[in-house]
């Protein structure tokens, strides 16, 4: 492979398998059928080989997500590493992240990843067993703690995903109804995540997506808790434990920020491989076929697996880049924004941001960013820009 001088230096690889389907999940994932691993890896090998020349040099970040990458067998993992390593070269200090679920992460995974992976993002969601049952997760709180501690003690940069705003509802048959997540319960989750020694914590509000099991349950609106208080509590609690907020949903100890995600928010390019993976190259955003069967069929026919492409008109692309940049604490750098999108778009967006009080938006000639209070109402700012 002869690397190009320009082009994406971030790669996302989607693993489309899960141990079971969580009732709130709208991601492209399914329980593995016999033969699926082989079909996935065979297609991925071809896609990786055919697209590796797009990379603009050695990869700076690689993110293996899903789905549940730890749902792959150890043999499949060896092959996956060989497929990626055979097609792409990584920079010596590349950030290589894998998503792991506590129910399937094993010591064998950790041993196998040494020397290739250096960051693990653990899908804990909660350290409370009732929360986990309600969410239909395939692990309990003990496994969650053990998984995070295993990654930390193995020396990986470790991130914990947590979810807030759980409305309450039925658990499994014969069990009492789950009463919903309390602020006290949420606070306990944050403290427990910090105690594991993980260097990064991401917090997400549960959203009820159409087409999911929860989406068909018609939760009464009143049952969906307002996320404002738990989010605000996270902004208060985590910095006191050494985690600075550097993005709407992300808190990190110094030097443990996700470089892969920072590239997304900086409107940087990336290659996506695997079913449903998105790519963003040369201003074109494209997505692969959603299901493994469709993805494998297209690759077997020698076609690109892409089924959707969009190139935004320049004004829309500029507004989208502004919204992405404002997710992160570093915000918009006006000089580079103007170089890329022009003075008219810079002026339009800056004027819109000036409609907000300084308590929400900082905007000076060099840079614009949201304050902590602004991040709590970020949707209002984005609506104004878009």
Contact criterion met (CB below 8 Å) for 385 and 355? no
Q: Determine how β-strand 10-15 pairs with β-strand 271-273.
A: parallel
The Cα 225–Cα 329 span in angstroms is: 26
**Biggest alpha carbon distance in the chain?**
63
Q: Is 177 exposed, middle or buried (0-12, 13-18, 19+ CB in 10 A)?
A: exposed
Among the listed ranges 19-27, 158-166, 206-214, 269-277, the one in contact with ligand SF4 (CB under 6 A) is: 19-27
CA 150 to chain centre: 21
Q: Is 105 in the site for ligand SF4 (CB under 6 A)?
A: no
| 378: its two tokens | 């970020």
Q: Would you count residue 61 as binding ligand SF4 (CB under 6 A)?
A: no
66 binds ligand SF4 (CB under 6 A): yes
Report the residue from 43, 52, 61, 68 that binds ligand SF4 according to the rule CB under 6 A: 68
Local structure of 275: helix, strand or coil: coil
Q: How far is the CB of 313 from ligand SF4 (least distance, A)?
A: 33
Binding of ligand SF4 at residue 288 (CB under 6 A)?
A: no
Residue 185 is a binding residue for ligand SF4 (CB under 6 A): no
Which tokens go with 352?
A: 């819109």
**How many residues touch ligand SF4 (CB under 6 A)?**
11
Q: Is 124 in the site for ligand SF4 (CB under 6 A)?
A: no
Cβ distance to ligand SF4 smaller for residue 30 or 281: 30
Minimum distance from residue 284 beta carbon to ligand SF4 (Å): 26
Question: Toward ligand SF4, which CB reaches closer, 69 or 331?
Answer: 69
Q: Which of 29, 104, 250, 369 binds ligand SF4 (CB under 6 A)?
A: 29
Q: Which is nearer to ligand SF4, 277 or 325 (CB)?
A: 277
Listed ranges 22-30, 218-226, 346-354, 371-379: which one lies at the site for ligand SF4 (CB under 6 A): 22-30
What is the DSSP track for 348-369?
Answer: HHHHHHTTS-TTTEEE-SSEEE
> Tokens 């014969």 belong to which residue?
174
For position 101 contacting ligand SF4 by CB under 6 A, the verdict is: yes
Residues 6+ positions from 198 with CB-CB distance below 8 Å: 122, 148, 151, 152, 158, 159, 160
Sheet holding 278-281, edge to edge: 278-281, 284-288, 306-311
> Which residues make up the interface to ligand SF4 (CB under 6 A)?
18, 21-22, 25, 27, 29, 66-68, 101, 123
């Amino acid at each position: 492979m002869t690397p190009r001088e320009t082009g994406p230096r971030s790669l996302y690889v989607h693993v489309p398998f899960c141990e079971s389907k969580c009732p709130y999940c709208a991601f492209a994932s399914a329980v593995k059928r016999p033969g699926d691993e082989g079909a996935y890896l065979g297609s991925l090998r071809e896609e990786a080989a055919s697209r590796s020349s797009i990379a603009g040099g050695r990869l700076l970040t690689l993110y293996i997500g899903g789905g549940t990458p730890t749902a792959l067998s150890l043999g499949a993992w060896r092959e996956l590493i060989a497929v990626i390593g055979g097609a792409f070269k990584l920079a010596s200090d590349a950030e290589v992240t894998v998503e792991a679920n506590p129910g399937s992460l094993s010591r064998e995974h950790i041993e196998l990843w040494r020397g290739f992976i250096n960051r693990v993002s653990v899908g804990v969601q909660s350290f409370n067993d009732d929360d986990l049952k309600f969410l239909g997760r395939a692990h309990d709180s003990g496994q969650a703690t053990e998984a995070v501690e295993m990654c930390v003690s193995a020396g990986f940069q470790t991130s914990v995903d947590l979810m807030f705003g759980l409305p309450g509802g039925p658990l499994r048959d014969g069990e009492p109804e789950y009463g919903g997540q309390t602020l006290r319960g949420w606070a306990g989750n944050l403290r427990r995540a910090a105690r594991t020694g993980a260097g990064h914590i991401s917090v997400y509000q549960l959203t009820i997506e159409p087409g999911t099991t929860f989406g068909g349950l018609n939760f009464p609106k009143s049952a969906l808790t307002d996320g404002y208080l738990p989010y605000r509590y996270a902004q208060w609690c985590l910095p006191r434990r050494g985690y600075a907020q550097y993005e709407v949903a992300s808190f990190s100890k110094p030097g443990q920020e996700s470089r892969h995600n920072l590239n997304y928010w900086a409107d940087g390019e990336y290659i996506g491989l695997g079913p449903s993976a998105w790519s963003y190259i040369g201003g074109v955003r494209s997505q692969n076929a959603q299901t493994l069967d469709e993805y494998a069929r297209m690759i077997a026919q020698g076609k690109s697996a892409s089924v959707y492409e969009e190139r935004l008109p320049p004004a829309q692309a500029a507004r989208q880049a502004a919204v992405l940049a404002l997710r992160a604490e570093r915000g918009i750098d006006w000089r580079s924004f103007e170089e890329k999108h022009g003075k008219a778009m810079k002026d339009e967006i800056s004027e819109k941001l000036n409609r907000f009080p300084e308590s929400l938006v900082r905007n000076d000639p060099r840079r614009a960013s949201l304050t902590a209070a602004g991040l709590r109402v970020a949707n209002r700012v984005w609506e104004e820009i878009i």
